[in-house]
Amino acid sequence: MASAHNTKLIGHIDCDGGGQVWIEGNILYVAHMKAPSGTSIYDISDPASPKFLSKIDLPDGWHSHKVRVKNGIMIVNHEENGPRDVLQSGQNFQGGLMIYDVSKPASPKPITKWITHGAGVHRYDFDGRYAYVSATKEGFVSNIVVILDLIDPAKPVEVGKWWIPGQWAAGGEEYPWAMFTRPRCHHPLRVGDRLYVSYWHHGFYILDISDISNPKMVGHDRRSPAFPNPTHTCLVIPGTHKGRKIMIVADEDVAALRPSAPAFAMVYDITDETLPTPISTINVAGVDKDGSQQPPMTGCHQPSEIFNGTIVPFAWFAQGLRIFDVKDPYAPQEIAHYQPDPALGQTRCSSNDLTMDSRGLIYLVDRIRGVDIIEAKQVS
């Protein structure tokens, strides 16, 4: 059953499960996990009674489970989600980023599609002009960093890219990863002239993008084999805390390379960017019972990319919403939680992503079904 501490459920949207939620103004965008549902749009002016506005579908064999919106421009990913032969007959569908005009959210208008080779686009950041994309590209092994200029949304221009050595197969690079998992850019996030890039089982990289056409590595860290879950997101906390610049690095509780306890997050000291150093852990008490393996999607997934000060909400898969305060970076504290009821037919919740609005309300999407709208005392 649902449980709560310092939180209160104030609204709910009964919809297909989602991979990401995003808000611009009083409009909520829900990116769904599975076709035919692509993206749904809701008016949340009254959070206790959200109003459905519109929905975009897409063909089987693909999903658009991520969405970002800025200044009336919405971009959604198109990524393979199953065998290619599952595609609907007659569909000429390709991976990439679909760009929409959502100045009228009830009637989103397609602008264009940036098409890429292979499986398509996974996660990305978007600041209103540039998109920082995890994409497959012809000639490369798996996903790399691609930077697109959308100053004219109708004409996306690729202005930069970056990869780790060995990914450029077409360029004849020596591939040193044959005995390991293959490299995969997972999620780039921009702060200032830095791009913080999670690279799945290859840890994370800090890139200098002051010259956006020529990203350069500043620092890197790859966890010990004792931590076999992939690195999902790198989230910088503004300012300094106890004199240190810090970043949250969240692992995802899937695809463990060997049996392990559920994934969690770490706080890194990045005061010296060339030597990122873990200084503390962020975990939900009781989830790791004794270090033994638990079912996938028991532990950590994703911190909210929108947060307030040092208070960061997380989507913690089977543990629901978990809110941590990292004002003391050496001793993060959980200060609130909301654990939803499982979706119908499920034995536990699967909280996949979350975001916040200007009122401090939190929107938590389950990957199977539904969005919960939650008030948290310490967040606003």
Q: What is the pLDDT of residue 85?
A: 60
* CB-side neighbour CA atoms (13 Å) of 163: 22
Cβ atoms of 255 and 198 within 8 Å: the answer is: no
Within 8 A by CB and 6+ apart from 142, the residues are 136, 167, 182, 183, 184, 185
Q: What is the pLDDT of residue 89?
A: 47
Cβ atoms of 264 and 288 within 8 Å: the answer is: yes
Cβ atoms of 229 and 254 within 8 Å: the answer is: yes
Please give the CATH architecture assigned to the domain spanning 3-376.
7 Propeller (2.130)
Identify residue 306 by its one-letter amino acid code: I
Q: What is the pLDDT of residue 91?
A: 66
Cβ atoms of 60 and 105 within 8 Å: the answer is: no
Cβ atoms of 220 and 206 within 8 Å: the answer is: yes
Cα separation, 109 vs 102, in Å, equals: 7
DSSP state of 230: P
Low-confidence ranges of the chain (pLDDT < 50): 89-90
Cα separation, 125 vs 199, in Å, equals: 15
Instruction: Name the nearest CA neighbour of 48 among 7, 9, 105.
Output: 9
Q: What is the pLDDT of residue 77?
A: 98
Residues paired with residue 251 on neighbouring β-strands, in sequence order: 231
Q: Six-digit token pair at 104?
A: 């009228």
